[in-house]
Structure 1
Amino acid sequence: MFVVGLTGGIGSGKSTVADLFAEQGIALVDADIVARQVVEPGTPGLTALVAHFGADILSADGSLDRAALRSRIFGAEQARQWVNDLLHPLIRSKMAQQLAAAQSPYVLWVVPLLIENDLYRQCDRVLVVDAHEHQQRSRVLARDSRADADAIMARQMPRDERLKYADHIVDNSGDVEQVKAQVQLLHRRYLSEAAQKRL
Protein backbone atom coordinates (compact mmCIF):
# COMPACT_ATOMS: atom_id res chain seq x y z
CA MET A 1 0.00 0.00 0.00
CA PHE A 2 1.24 3.50 -0.89
CA VAL A 3 0.94 5.58 2.29
CA VAL A 4 0.79 9.38 2.33
CA GLY A 5 1.30 10.71 5.85
CA LEU A 6 -0.59 13.95 6.42
CA THR A 7 0.35 16.22 9.29
CA GLY A 8 0.46 19.87 10.29
CA GLY A 9 0.28 22.14 13.31
CA ILE A 10 -2.92 22.60 15.28
CA GLY A 11 -5.35 24.82 13.38
CA SER A 12 -3.52 24.33 10.09
CA GLY A 13 -6.55 22.69 8.50
CA LYS A 14 -5.55 19.01 8.39
CA SER A 15 -9.17 17.83 8.54
CA THR A 16 -10.22 20.12 5.69
CA VAL A 17 -7.45 18.81 3.46
CA ALA A 18 -8.07 15.17 4.48
CA ASP A 19 -11.78 15.54 3.63
CA LEU A 20 -10.86 16.84 0.15
CA PHE A 21 -8.81 13.70 -0.46
CA ALA A 22 -11.70 11.57 0.84
CA GLU A 23 -13.96 13.26 -1.75
CA GLN A 24 -11.60 11.81 -4.39
CA GLY A 25 -12.34 8.32 -3.02
CA ILE A 26 -9.18 8.00 -0.94
CA ALA A 27 -9.33 6.01 2.31
CA LEU A 28 -8.37 7.90 5.46
CA VAL A 29 -6.80 6.48 8.59
CA ASP A 30 -7.09 9.25 11.19
CA ALA A 31 -5.15 8.91 14.44
CA ASP A 32 -7.61 11.14 16.33
CA ILE A 33 -10.57 8.98 15.27
CA VAL A 34 -8.70 5.77 16.11
CA ALA A 35 -7.81 7.20 19.54
CA ARG A 36 -11.55 7.51 20.22
CA GLN A 37 -12.34 4.07 18.79
CA VAL A 38 -9.95 2.23 21.14
CA VAL A 39 -11.80 3.57 24.21
CA GLU A 40 -15.37 2.99 23.01
CA PRO A 41 -17.68 1.06 25.38
CA GLY A 42 -16.81 -2.63 25.45
CA THR A 43 -13.21 -2.19 24.30
CA PRO A 44 -10.24 -3.54 26.25
CA GLY A 45 -8.92 0.05 26.36
CA LEU A 46 -11.91 1.44 28.22
CA THR A 47 -12.13 -1.64 30.47
CA ALA A 48 -8.51 -1.13 31.54
CA LEU A 49 -8.99 2.61 32.15
CA VAL A 50 -12.02 1.96 34.39
CA ALA A 51 -10.17 -0.80 36.28
CA HIS A 52 -7.33 1.66 36.95
CA PHE A 53 -9.14 4.95 37.61
CA GLY A 54 -12.64 3.85 38.65
CA ALA A 55 -16.09 4.26 37.12
CA ASP A 56 -16.20 8.02 37.78
CA ILE A 57 -14.33 8.53 34.46
CA LEU A 58 -17.47 7.30 32.67
CA SER A 59 -20.36 9.40 31.36
CA ALA A 60 -23.94 8.43 32.18
CA ASP A 61 -24.18 6.47 28.92
CA GLY A 62 -21.11 4.36 29.76
CA SER A 63 -18.75 6.14 27.37
CA LEU A 64 -15.46 7.68 28.43
CA ASP A 65 -15.78 11.14 29.99
CA ARG A 66 -12.64 12.64 28.48
CA ALA A 67 -12.75 15.73 30.68
CA ALA A 68 -12.91 13.54 33.79
CA LEU A 69 -9.93 11.49 32.61
CA ARG A 70 -7.96 14.62 31.73
CA SER A 71 -8.57 16.03 35.21
CA ARG A 72 -7.28 12.78 36.76
CA ILE A 73 -4.01 12.86 34.81
CA PHE A 74 -3.46 16.62 34.64
CA GLY A 75 -0.17 17.35 36.41
CA ALA A 76 0.17 13.67 37.35
CA GLU A 77 3.04 12.55 35.15
CA GLN A 78 2.96 8.92 36.31
CA ALA A 79 -0.78 8.60 35.60
CA ARG A 80 -0.41 10.30 32.21
CA GLN A 81 2.42 7.95 31.29
CA TRP A 82 0.34 4.93 32.37
CA VAL A 83 -2.49 6.04 30.05
CA ASN A 84 -0.04 6.57 27.18
CA ASP A 85 1.56 3.16 27.74
CA LEU A 86 -1.91 1.58 27.64
CA LEU A 87 -3.41 3.42 24.68
CA HIS A 88 -0.53 4.05 22.27
CA PRO A 89 0.02 0.35 21.40
CA LEU A 90 -3.76 -0.08 20.95
CA ILE A 91 -3.89 2.96 18.67
CA ARG A 92 -0.89 1.87 16.61
CA SER A 93 -2.26 -1.66 16.23
CA LYS A 94 -5.67 -0.43 15.06
CA MET A 95 -4.10 2.08 12.65
CA ALA A 96 -1.96 -0.72 11.17
CA GLN A 97 -5.10 -2.84 10.66
CA GLN A 98 -6.90 0.03 8.96
CA LEU A 99 -3.91 0.87 6.73
CA ALA A 100 -3.68 -2.77 5.64
CA ALA A 101 -7.43 -2.95 4.94
CA ALA A 102 -7.61 0.25 2.85
CA GLN A 103 -9.07 -0.39 -0.60
CA SER A 104 -8.22 2.88 -2.42
CA PRO A 105 -5.20 3.27 -4.77
CA TYR A 106 -3.31 4.93 -1.93
CA VAL A 107 -4.18 5.72 1.70
CA LEU A 108 -3.96 8.99 3.61
CA TRP A 109 -2.66 8.55 7.15
CA VAL A 110 -3.64 11.60 9.21
CA VAL A 111 -1.45 11.96 12.31
CA PRO A 112 -0.93 15.28 14.18
CA LEU A 113 2.40 14.05 15.62
CA LEU A 114 3.52 12.06 12.56
CA ILE A 115 7.01 13.56 12.66
CA GLU A 116 7.41 13.90 16.43
CA ASN A 117 6.53 10.20 16.92
CA ASP A 118 8.78 9.04 14.04
CA LEU A 119 5.80 7.58 12.15
CA TYR A 120 6.81 9.50 9.04
CA ARG A 121 9.43 6.79 8.43
CA GLN A 122 6.58 4.37 7.63
CA CYS A 123 5.20 6.65 4.88
CA ASP A 124 5.99 6.79 1.18
CA ARG A 125 5.34 10.54 1.17
CA VAL A 126 4.94 13.18 3.89
CA LEU A 127 2.36 15.89 3.19
CA VAL A 128 2.38 18.89 5.52
CA VAL A 129 -0.63 21.22 5.73
CA ASP A 130 0.70 24.68 6.40
CA ALA A 131 -0.87 27.99 7.42
CA HIS A 132 0.38 31.23 8.90
CA GLU A 133 0.65 31.07 12.68
CA HIS A 134 -1.88 33.89 13.20
CA GLN A 135 -4.39 31.84 11.16
CA GLN A 136 -3.68 28.72 13.21
CA ARG A 137 -4.26 30.70 16.41
CA SER A 138 -7.57 32.19 15.23
CA ARG A 139 -8.83 28.77 14.05
CA VAL A 140 -8.02 27.17 17.40
CA LEU A 141 -9.82 29.94 19.29
CA ALA A 142 -12.83 29.70 16.95
CA ARG A 143 -13.14 26.01 17.90
CA ASP A 144 -12.52 26.48 21.62
CA SER A 145 -12.47 29.96 23.09
CA ARG A 146 -10.89 28.60 26.30
CA ALA A 147 -7.97 26.99 24.53
CA ASP A 148 -4.56 28.44 25.15
CA ALA A 149 -3.54 28.47 21.48
CA ASP A 150 -0.04 29.81 22.15
CA ALA A 151 0.68 27.13 24.78
CA ILE A 152 -0.56 24.36 22.45
CA MET A 153 1.49 25.69 19.54
CA ALA A 154 4.58 26.02 21.74
CA ARG A 155 4.40 22.28 22.58
CA GLN A 156 4.42 21.33 18.91
CA MET A 157 7.37 21.11 16.56
CA PRO A 158 8.19 24.59 15.20
CA ARG A 159 6.62 25.30 11.81
CA ASP A 160 9.96 25.75 10.02
CA GLU A 161 11.27 22.47 11.42
CA ARG A 162 8.10 20.56 10.40
CA LEU A 163 8.33 21.85 6.83
CA LYS A 164 11.83 20.35 6.48
CA TYR A 165 10.26 16.86 6.61
CA ALA A 166 7.68 17.58 3.89
CA ASP A 167 7.80 15.93 0.48
CA HIS A 168 4.84 18.13 -0.41
CA ILE A 169 3.09 21.09 1.23
CA VAL A 170 -0.52 22.25 0.99
CA ASP A 171 -0.71 25.98 1.66
CA ASN A 172 -3.95 26.42 3.57
CA SER A 173 -3.66 30.16 4.10
CA GLY A 174 -5.86 31.03 1.10
CA ASP A 175 -9.45 30.24 0.17
CA VAL A 176 -10.90 26.75 -0.19
CA GLU A 177 -10.77 26.79 -4.01
CA GLN A 178 -6.99 27.28 -3.88
CA VAL A 179 -6.70 24.38 -1.44
CA LYS A 180 -8.90 22.16 -3.66
CA ALA A 181 -6.65 22.87 -6.65
CA GLN A 182 -3.55 21.86 -4.68
CA VAL A 183 -5.22 18.65 -3.47
CA GLN A 184 -6.32 17.69 -6.99
CA LEU A 185 -2.76 18.11 -8.31
CA LEU A 186 -1.34 16.02 -5.47
CA HIS A 187 -4.08 13.41 -5.87
CA ARG A 188 -3.09 12.86 -9.51
CA ARG A 189 0.56 12.68 -8.50
CA TYR A 190 -0.08 10.13 -5.75
CA LEU A 191 -2.21 7.99 -8.09
CA SER A 192 0.72 7.87 -10.51
CA GLU A 193 3.32 7.18 -7.81
CA ALA A 194 1.16 4.48 -6.20
CA ALA A 195 0.73 2.80 -9.61
CA GLN A 196 4.52 2.89 -10.11
CA LYS A 197 5.05 1.27 -6.72
CA ARG A 198 2.70 -1.60 -7.63
CA LEU A 199 4.65 -2.40 -10.85
Structure 2
Amino acid sequence: MFLIGLTGTIASGKSTVAKLLAERGAEVIDSDLLAREATAPGAPALVAIRARFGSAVFGPQGSLDRAALARLVFADAAALADLEAIIHPQVRALRDQRLAASPAKVAVIEAIKLFEAGIAAECDTVWVVTAAETVRLERLVTQRGMPLAEAQRRLAAQGDFAAQTAAAAVVIVNDGDLQQLRAQVDRAWAATVEGR
Protein backbone atom coordinates (compact mmCIF):
# COMPACT_ATOMS: atom_id res chain seq x y z
CA MET A 1 0.00 0.00 0.00
CA PHE A 2 1.29 3.45 -0.96
CA LEU A 3 1.01 5.85 1.99
CA ILE A 4 0.48 9.58 1.63
CA GLY A 5 1.02 11.59 4.78
CA LEU A 6 -1.21 14.67 4.69
CA THR A 7 -0.71 17.57 7.05
CA GLY A 8 -1.10 21.31 7.36
CA THR A 9 -2.18 23.90 9.84
CA ILE A 10 -5.70 24.34 11.13
CA ALA A 11 -8.12 25.67 8.47
CA SER A 12 -5.61 25.16 5.65
CA GLY A 13 -7.89 22.73 3.80
CA LYS A 14 -6.43 19.34 4.75
CA SER A 15 -9.85 17.73 4.99
CA THR A 16 -10.89 19.08 1.61
CA VAL A 17 -7.71 17.68 0.06
CA ALA A 18 -8.40 14.36 1.81
CA LYS A 19 -11.90 14.27 0.28
CA LEU A 20 -10.44 14.93 -3.16
CA LEU A 21 -8.00 12.05 -2.64
CA ALA A 22 -10.85 9.78 -1.47
CA GLU A 23 -12.63 10.55 -4.75
CA ARG A 24 -9.61 8.98 -6.46
CA GLY A 25 -10.02 5.77 -4.44
CA ALA A 26 -7.59 6.43 -1.61
CA GLU A 27 -8.44 5.16 1.86
CA VAL A 28 -8.44 8.25 4.07
CA ILE A 29 -7.57 7.85 7.72
CA ASP A 30 -8.40 11.02 9.62
CA SER A 31 -6.36 11.20 12.82
CA ASP A 32 -8.80 13.72 14.33
CA LEU A 33 -11.65 11.22 13.95
CA LEU A 34 -9.48 8.49 15.44
CA ALA A 35 -8.70 10.80 18.38
CA ARG A 36 -12.45 11.21 18.91
CA GLU A 37 -12.84 7.44 18.83
CA ALA A 38 -9.97 7.06 21.30
CA THR A 39 -11.75 9.45 23.67
CA ALA A 40 -15.31 8.17 23.20
CA PRO A 41 -17.31 7.21 26.30
CA GLY A 42 -15.77 4.14 27.92
CA ALA A 43 -12.41 4.50 26.15
CA PRO A 44 -9.35 3.76 28.32
CA ALA A 45 -7.76 7.13 27.48
CA LEU A 46 -10.48 8.92 29.45
CA VAL A 47 -9.09 7.61 32.74
CA ALA A 48 -5.69 9.14 31.96
CA ILE A 49 -7.28 12.39 30.74
CA ARG A 50 -9.29 12.69 33.96
CA ALA A 51 -6.18 11.96 36.05
CA ARG A 52 -4.16 14.66 34.24
CA PHE A 53 -6.80 17.36 33.63
CA GLY A 54 -9.43 16.73 36.30
CA SER A 55 -13.20 16.70 36.15
CA ALA A 56 -13.39 20.24 34.70
CA VAL A 57 -12.98 18.78 31.19
CA PHE A 58 -15.87 16.35 31.63
CA GLY A 59 -19.59 17.00 31.31
CA PRO A 60 -22.26 16.10 33.87
CA GLN A 61 -22.81 12.63 32.31
CA GLY A 62 -19.08 11.92 32.44
CA SER A 63 -18.41 12.44 28.74
CA LEU A 64 -15.41 14.44 27.61
CA ASP A 65 -16.13 18.16 27.18
CA ARG A 66 -13.99 18.66 24.08
CA ALA A 67 -14.47 22.44 24.04
CA ALA A 68 -13.26 22.79 27.64
CA LEU A 69 -10.30 20.52 26.95
CA ALA A 70 -9.42 22.46 23.78
CA ARG A 71 -9.51 25.78 25.61
CA LEU A 72 -7.14 24.36 28.22
CA VAL A 73 -4.60 22.67 25.93
CA PHE A 74 -4.45 25.39 23.28
CA ALA A 75 -3.50 27.88 26.00
CA ASP A 76 -0.80 25.68 27.56
CA ALA A 77 1.87 23.91 25.48
CA ALA A 78 2.73 21.49 28.32
CA ALA A 79 -0.93 20.50 28.68
CA LEU A 80 -1.15 19.91 24.92
CA ALA A 81 1.96 17.71 25.04
CA ASP A 82 0.47 15.72 27.93
CA LEU A 83 -2.79 15.20 26.04
CA GLU A 84 -0.91 14.07 22.94
CA ALA A 85 1.13 11.60 25.02
CA ILE A 86 -2.14 10.08 26.22
CA ILE A 87 -3.97 10.00 22.90
CA HIS A 88 -1.30 9.37 20.25
CA PRO A 89 -0.63 5.71 21.15
CA GLN A 90 -4.37 5.00 20.98
CA VAL A 91 -4.67 6.77 17.64
CA ARG A 92 -1.67 4.87 16.26
CA ALA A 93 -3.24 1.52 17.20
CA LEU A 94 -6.57 2.45 15.58
CA ARG A 95 -4.78 3.72 12.46
CA ASP A 96 -2.78 0.51 12.11
CA GLN A 97 -5.99 -1.53 12.38
CA ARG A 98 -7.64 0.53 9.61
CA LEU A 99 -4.62 0.21 7.33
CA ALA A 100 -4.41 -3.55 7.84
CA ALA A 101 -8.11 -3.96 7.01
CA SER A 102 -8.14 -1.72 3.93
CA PRO A 103 -8.06 -3.21 0.41
CA ALA A 104 -7.05 0.17 -1.09
CA LYS A 105 -3.79 0.54 -2.99
CA VAL A 106 -3.31 4.09 -1.70
CA ALA A 107 -3.99 5.35 1.80
CA VAL A 108 -3.88 8.88 3.15
CA ILE A 109 -3.02 9.51 6.78
CA GLU A 110 -4.37 12.94 7.64
CA ALA A 111 -2.70 14.28 10.78
CA ILE A 112 -1.86 17.75 11.99
CA LYS A 113 1.14 16.37 13.93
CA LEU A 114 2.38 14.13 11.12
CA PHE A 115 6.06 14.97 11.67
CA GLU A 116 5.98 15.42 15.44
CA ALA A 117 4.27 12.05 15.98
CA GLY A 118 6.76 10.25 13.73
CA ILE A 119 4.11 9.33 11.15
CA ALA A 120 5.84 11.13 8.25
CA ALA A 121 8.75 8.68 8.41
CA GLU A 122 6.31 5.81 7.79
CA CYS A 123 4.85 7.40 4.65
CA ASP A 124 5.97 7.05 1.05
CA THR A 125 5.34 10.74 0.43
CA VAL A 126 4.25 13.74 2.49
CA TRP A 127 1.89 16.45 1.33
CA VAL A 128 1.52 19.72 3.23
CA VAL A 129 -1.50 21.98 2.72
CA THR A 130 -0.91 25.65 3.46
CA ALA A 131 -2.90 28.85 3.33
CA ALA A 132 -2.12 32.40 4.32
CA GLU A 133 -2.74 33.12 8.00
CA THR A 134 -5.37 35.72 7.14
CA VAL A 135 -7.24 33.14 5.05
CA ARG A 136 -7.07 30.52 7.82
CA LEU A 137 -8.22 33.03 10.42
CA GLU A 138 -11.17 34.04 8.25
CA ARG A 139 -12.13 30.37 7.72
CA LEU A 140 -12.06 29.66 11.45
CA VAL A 141 -14.27 32.64 12.23
CA THR A 142 -16.70 32.50 9.30
CA GLN A 143 -16.91 28.79 8.45
CA ARG A 144 -16.47 27.28 11.90
CA GLY A 145 -18.04 30.07 13.92
CA MET A 146 -15.04 30.35 16.22
CA PRO A 147 -14.61 33.57 18.22
CA LEU A 148 -11.73 35.66 16.86
CA ALA A 149 -9.64 35.44 20.06
CA GLU A 150 -10.01 31.63 20.15
CA ALA A 151 -9.08 31.36 16.47
CA GLN A 152 -5.97 33.48 17.06
CA ARG A 153 -4.99 31.30 20.06
CA ARG A 154 -5.33 28.12 18.03
CA LEU A 155 -3.27 29.50 15.17
CA ALA A 156 -0.57 30.64 17.60
CA ALA A 157 -0.54 27.26 19.37
CA GLN A 158 0.35 25.52 16.11
CA GLY A 159 3.42 27.64 15.57
CA ASP A 160 5.38 27.89 12.35
CA PHE A 161 4.91 25.18 9.73
CA ALA A 162 8.03 26.14 7.74
CA ALA A 163 10.01 23.01 8.66
CA GLN A 164 7.14 20.73 7.68
CA THR A 165 6.66 22.58 4.43
CA ALA A 166 10.37 22.32 3.64
CA ALA A 167 10.33 18.56 4.33
CA ALA A 168 7.26 17.85 2.18
CA ALA A 169 7.39 16.29 -1.27
CA VAL A 170 4.24 18.21 -2.22
CA VAL A 171 3.11 21.63 -1.01
CA ILE A 172 -0.45 22.63 -1.85
CA VAL A 173 -1.24 26.33 -1.39
CA ASN A 174 -4.96 26.63 -0.67
CA ASP A 175 -5.63 30.36 -0.88
CA GLY A 176 -8.01 30.07 -3.84
CA ASP A 177 -11.23 28.30 -4.69
CA LEU A 178 -12.10 24.60 -4.91
CA GLN A 179 -11.36 24.43 -8.63
CA GLN A 180 -7.81 25.71 -8.06
CA LEU A 181 -7.35 23.29 -5.18
CA ARG A 182 -8.61 20.35 -7.25
CA ALA A 183 -6.14 21.22 -10.03
CA GLN A 184 -3.23 21.17 -7.56
CA VAL A 185 -4.37 17.83 -6.13
CA ASP A 186 -4.71 16.37 -9.64
CA ARG A 187 -1.14 17.44 -10.51
CA ALA A 188 0.26 16.10 -7.23
CA TRP A 189 -1.58 12.78 -7.64
CA ALA A 190 -0.25 12.39 -11.18
CA ALA A 191 3.31 13.14 -10.07
CA THR A 192 3.47 11.13 -6.84
CA VAL A 193 0.98 8.28 -7.21
CA GLU A 194 0.56 7.63 -10.92
CA GLY A 195 4.18 8.58 -11.62
CA ARG A 196 5.75 6.08 -9.22
Question: Tell me, what secondary structure is at the counterpart of 1:40?
Answer: coil
Question: Contact 1:115–1:162 (CA<8 Å) still a contact in 2?
Answer: yes
Give the alignment's TM-score, normalised by structure 1.
0.80
Separation in 2, partners of 1:116, 1:37:
21
Matched letter for residue 178 of structure 2: V
Matched letter for residue 14 of structure 1: K
Separation in 1, partners of 2:52, 2:127:
38
Matched letter for residue 167 of structure 1: A
1:158 corresponds to: 160
Separation in 1, partners of 2:30, 2:7:
10
| Structure 2 unaligned residues grouped into runs of 5+ | none
1:115 corresponds to: 115
Cα RMSD, aligned residues only: 2.9
Is 2:18 aligned against 1:18? yes
Aligned-residue offset at 1:8: 1.0
Question: Contact 1:34–1:91 (CA<8 Å) still a contact in 2?
Answer: yes
Q: Percent identity?
A: 36
2:181 corresponds to: 179
**Which sits farther off after the overlay, 65-74 or 170-179?**
65-74
Aligned length: 194
- Deviations along 1:17-61, one digit per CA (max 9) or x if unpaired, are 111111222111111111100011222223554577666644456
Poorly superposed stretches of 4+, deviation over 6 Å: 51-56, 71-79
Separation in 2, partners of 1:174, 1:27:
26
Separation in 1, partners of 2:74, 2:187:
43
Separation in 2, partners of 1:76, 1:155:
8
**Which sits farther off after the overlay, 48-57 or 129-138?**
48-57
**Structure of higher CA gyration radius:** 1
Aligned-residue offset at 1:2: 1.2
2:129 corresponds to: 129
